[in-house]
Amino acid sequence: MIFCKNQLLVAFVSLALSSSYSTAQQPLVVQAKKVITATGQTIENGTVVCVDGKIKAIGKTGEVSIPEKAAIMQSEVAMPGMIDVRSCAGLSGILNVDHDSDHLESSSPLQPELRAIDAYNPREELVEYIRSFGVTTIHTGHAPGELMSGQTLIAKTIGNSIEEALIVEGRAIAATLAEASSKSGKSSPGTRGKQMAMLRTLFIEAQELQAKIDAKANPKPAEKSDADGSKQSDKDIDKEKKPEPVARNLRLEAVMQVLAGKKALLITADRAQDIASAIRLAEEFKIKIWLDSAADAHLMIPQIKAAGICVLLHPSMARASGEKENQSFLTASKLQAAQIPFAIQGGFEAYVPKVRVVLFEAAIAASHGLSHDAAIESITISPARILGIQNRVGSLEVGKDADLALYDGDPLEYTTHCVGVIINGKVVSTTKR
Amino acid sequence: MNTRRKFLASATAAVSGSAFGSSLFARQASSNGDESPKKTTVTAWVNATLLPVDKPPISGGAIVVQDGKIQAIGASANVAIPAGATIVDAKGKWIMPGLICTHSHIGGAGAADGSGPIQPGVRVMDSINVRDSGFRRALAGGLTTLNIMPGSGHLISGQTVYCKLRYYEASPRIVDEILIRDKNGAPVGGLKMANGTNSQGDSPFPGTRGKSAYLVREQYIKAREYQAKVVAANGDVSKLPPRDLHLESLVEAMQGKRIVHHHTHRHDDIMTVIRLSQEFGFQTVLHHVSEGWKVAKEIADAKMPCSIIVLDSPGGKVEAKDMTFSNGRVLDEAGVKVAFHTDDWITDSRLFMRSAALAVRAGMNRDKAIAGLTLAGAEMLGLSDRIGSLTVGKDADFAILTGDPLSVYTHVLETWVEGQKAFDLSKPDDQLYAEGGVNAGSDIDPFLCCFAPAWQGGAK
């Protein structure tokens, strides 16, 4: 089992979903010739029992007791609902016009204060589209293209409002080290060196603000001493000792959360030198980073491994041009061989296909050296672990959310269909896809 | 082949005046300068699963290739293998015709510029970079023939060109080496047109669909009048109108000498293409056709073939929001001839077979889907007498696969063009293009006949 170094346990998992399912649901039973659990053995002729949105039992068909009045669904293959570890769906929409494009704010290169929760459209058609292939959870948010474009969130691919869908708000801040975040003319950043200088400056400002806040909260004893020793009422003392609050600064507060390990810094970096810069930044500020896209990752295996960094790998079918010109279909298998934690992403696409389906991307990796098991893990339990939501989703285990994807054959094969999608124990799609 | 040799000979002559021309072209002179075939090579692949496309699949099949053509095909037991033939045991492997992409942009090709929306006289042939690594990646996907097109940002963006991927051991250096020629030696190609939103813009580009159609009609009417003058002149030079390359190109389209490859997405735009094609009598292939499924019957009634694109998701622009994997199935079931295309770099040529597989996923007939990668495309380029199926007498263009072309786990092992191997997965160079990695996206190194670059030791 592979974990990132200093993997954070996400303690701020929202319980937003639980309220929606307070009323008892009809139990749902899934029976499949093959149940891929993603963490344990694949079960031949398996049964998964879903009660009140959670997996109540799992095992061989016949050995698991089925609740009364349960609805029964049957398929060839059942596996955990997939997780897209890096998407912009819901902020970036199907029409690709101003009306449905909220993934990138270009008024300033550094805007970590922008929250995905204020922009995510849970009813976006692209979200429904990827769900119909079995994607049940997405880590989505601001896109690559600005030095620091904004925050991300984790949601289920359901819900009429973000509140219904939300798993984690503000999971990471998205940054980009690439030509894409450079500006032309006299605007900054105009070079790779300037990009790093601006990021470092921002983190130092956040450190200084944090120090100021800490100092106010814990004033030094010398400052507390009363020079003239005159008698004061308790109330007066309180009044005098209460420090002026430090002025709020949304931008630096967001960065402070990265410094405090409460958010990850997701850094889109394809070129080897940008990957090296990302690692340097992580080491300087002792922050948790995720390497996003990372087309040159296959050239940087020892460095990534040594830094203990997770990779949110570009879609296998991302175009091999521009900064991704060195990308390889073999990268996933090389990361796996080096035991570097990684997940395969749907990513951001500026034109077409407007959204990518991680199932298809993992399949291409599976035909290029990645084992079938590892390919499934790269879109289920691996992204769950990277995102820190592995106690809730990513595998078929008792106690986890009942999120399943059903297929009429090998899920990775081109001509197989997704025949059912279940989220929180409810069937959300039966369209044959 | 003969015409190609003739051309190459003339190309050699044309540059022989330059200081290094003779050494650069020595390779061509030696391999092509001699009119008689240097050696008759016969190769037979036996025990393969063959997908001839024009006939049902053959398990345990044999295919014999001689002088760049398919000499025989059938069940191994029924095929007489000529004495002296090289015999390759292809047990477990599948052999299918080389894939034909009816719509590709490999080579960084451009034609019309920003000066106006209608420029039919501009040739994409004059802008192709034959060293684009995309050609080698296409071979890695089993492709052997491309229709290289200019873009869709114009109503008429220029002349397309049909190319064979003759990337043998030494890669082509000039575009002429990859052109497909007619029996008179002239390169063959079509005419690219577009409607919908891509070809709209600020003046002089049209701002609406109505204006788009008007501008096109106006030009075709001009071309008709131009042609009438040419006919009326009856060879009398004094009466001929001044030559107009743009109008000539449109005349060729109306005469059926140049197939119109028409970018179109929305159902009403598709109907506009049909209307204009019928008014001016040009032969049209509908390309992309995202909403073809909404007017499948009308397309079938107009007997208009569709070259479709399959994308992983709909959208990206408004007129592609209703794109679906089912398009191929619906069109085919309505009686429309369907081929697929890559639109490379929109989709990656290495994964071209996947387009057909996803159509089958959505219910398209399997044989029709495989034909959509091969024979249907050949028909849409007017080349089905030469390519598109494993048929005796056709060019020996084929791909050798590890298995079923519609499986994600299948790999292309070899791609053969006109009887010569142009891709071999077992070679590290070719593997790089198949799998990606450092330099996989760089231009192909030029083949230098008699000397190496200085850093590799200089002259040999």
Q: At A359, is the pLDDT very low, low, confident or very high (cuts 50, 70, 90)?
A: very high
- DSSP characters for B173-189? SSGGGGB-B-TTS-B--
Cβ contact (<8 Å) for B313 and A129? yes
Q: Do the beta carbons of residue B295 and residue B275 sit within 8 Å?
A: no
Candidate from A328, A330, A414 with C-beta closest to B357: A414
Specify the pLDDT at position A1.
Answer: 46
> In the prediction, which pLDDT does B36 show?
45
Interface touch B315/A126, C-beta < 8 Å? yes
Least confident of B6-10, B223-227, B264-268: B6-10
Q: How far is A88 from chain B (nearest CA, A)?
A: 13
pLDDT at B109: 80
Q: For A320, which of B361, B406, B436 is closest by C-beta distance? A: B436
- The two tokens of residue A369 are 């050296």
User: Domain extents for chain A?
Assistant: 81-200+249-392
For domain B2-97+413-436+444-456, give its CATH number from 3.40.50.410, 2.30.40.10, 3.10.20.70, 3.20.20.70: 2.30.40.10
Under an 8 A CB cutoff, do B441 and A356 touch? no
SS3 for A423?
A: strand
Assembly ipTM: 0.91
- Give the β-pairing of A166-176 and A148-156: antiparallel
Q: Give pLDDT, residue B110.
A: 87
Please give the pLDDT value at position A94: 97
Q: Please report which confidence band the pLDDT of residue A180 belongs to, taking 50, 70 and 90 as the band edges.
A: confident
Contact A319 B407 (CB under 8 A): no
- Which chain B residue has the Cα nearest residue A131? B313
Is the CB of A126 less than 8 angstroms away from the CB of B358? Answer: no
User: Which of A323-332, B35-44, B217-226 has the lowest average pLDDT?
Assistant: B35-44
Q: Is B450's pLDDT higher than 80?
A: no
How much is the pLDDT for A16?
39
For the stretch B400-414, pLDDT in tens is 999 999 999 999 999
Longest dimension (CA), chain A: 86
pLDDT in tens, A53-104: 999 999 999 999 999 999 999 999 999 999 999 999 999 999 999 999 999 9
The closest of B335, B337, B338, B314 to B324, measured between CA atoms, is: B314
pLDDT-derived band at B454, boundaries 50, 70, 90: low
Task: Tell me the C-alpha to C-alpha distance, in Å, between residue A281 and each of A5, A182, A197, A198, A275.
Answer: 16, 18, 10, 11, 10
User: Tens digits of per-residue pLDDT, A338-347?
Assistant: 999 999 999 9
Q: Each residue of B430-445: pLDDT tens digit?
A: 999 999 999 898 887 6
Q: DSSP for A77-138, please give it.
A: EEEEPEEEEEE-BTTB-TT-SGGGB-S---S-SB-TT--GGGT--TT-HHHHHHHTTTEEEE
State what percent of residues in chain A have pLDDT above 70.
90
Residue B44 to chain A, least CA–CA distance (Å): 29
Q: How far apart are CA A389 and CA A381, in angstroms?
A: 9
- Of A299 and B21, which is predicted with more confidence? A299
**Per-residue pLDDT, B447:** 54
Residue B20: the pLDDT is 33
Average pLDDT over residues B236-254: 97
Spell out the residues 6+ positions from residue A432 whose beta carbon is closer than 8 angstroms to its own.
A408, A417, A418, A419
State the pLDDT at residue B12.
33
- pLDDT higher than 90, residue B50: yes
Between A26-35, B5-14, B235-244, the lowest mean confidence (pLDDT) is in B5-14
CATH architecture of A81-200+249-392: Alpha-Beta Barrel (3.20)
pLDDT score for A2: 52
Least Cα distance to A49 among A29, A69, A74 occurs for A29
Is B436–A364 a contact, with Cβ atoms under 8 angstroms apart?
no
Domain residue spans of chain B: 2-97+413-436+444-456, 99-389
Which chain B residue is nearest to residue A346, measuring alpha carbons?
B312
DSSP H or E segment with residue A206:
helix A192-217
Q: B361: which chain A residues are within 8 Å (Cβ-Cβ)?
A: 414-417
Please give the pLDDT value at position B389. Answer: 98
Which pLDDT does position A24 carry in this prediction?
72
> Which among A279, A282, A262 has a CA at the least distance from the CA of A271?
A279
- Average pLDDT score over residue span B53-62: 98
pLDDT at A231 over 90: no
Cross-chain Cβ contact B361/A417 below 8 Å: yes
Residue of A97, A317, A414 with shortest CB distance to B318:
A97
pLDDT tier at A4, thresholds 50, 70, 90: low
CA distance B196 to chain A (A): 15
Q: Which residues of A touch B440 (CB under 8 A)?
A: 320, 325-326, 328
Chain B environment of A328 (Cβ under 8 Å): 435-437, 440
Contact assessment for residue A340 and residue A304, using Cβ atoms and an 8 Å cutoff: yes
CB contact (8 A) between residue A367 and residue B408: yes
Q: Which of chain A's residues have a Cβ under 8 Å away from the Cβ of B354? A: 414
Query: Who's near A71: CB < 8 A, 6+ residues apart?
Result: A26, A27, A28, A29, A427
What pLDDT was estimated at residue A8? 42
- pLDDT confidence of A230, banded at 50, 70, 90? low
How confident is residue B456, by pLDDT bands cut at 50, 70 and 90? low
Number of residue pairs across A and B with CB atoms under 8 Å?
Answer: 112
Write the pLDDT tens digit of every residue in B334-388: 999 999 999 999 999 999 999 999 999 999 999 999 999 999 999 999 999 999 9
Mean pLDDT of B4-16: 34
Predicted structure pTM score: 0.91
Mean pLDDT of all residues in B23-34: 35
pLDDT for the residue numbered B4: 37
- What mean pLDDT is reported for chain B? 90
Of A351, A354, A413, the CB nearest to B407: A413
Among A34-43, A226-235, A340-349, A351-360, where is mean pLDDT lowest? A226-235
Overall average pLDDT of the B219-228 stretch: 98
- Model confidence over A265-294: pLDDT tens digits? 999 999 999 999 999 999 999 999 999 999
Question: Shortest CB distance from B313 goes to which of A327, A355, A415?
Answer: A355
Q: What is the pLDDT of residues A110-147, one digit of tens each?
A: 999 999 999 999 999 999 999 999 999 999 999 999 99
pLDDT digit string, tens, across residues A294-329:
999 999 999 999 999 999 999 999 999 899 999 999
**Which two tokens mark A41?**
């053995």
Across the range B127-154, mean pLDDT stands at 96
- Token code pair at residue A423: 């989220």
Q: Would you state the pLDDT for residue A226? A: 52
Mutate to test the interface with A, among B152, B355, B408, B433 (most CBs of A within 10 A): B408
Q: Which numeric CATH code is attached to B99-389?
A: 3.20.20.140
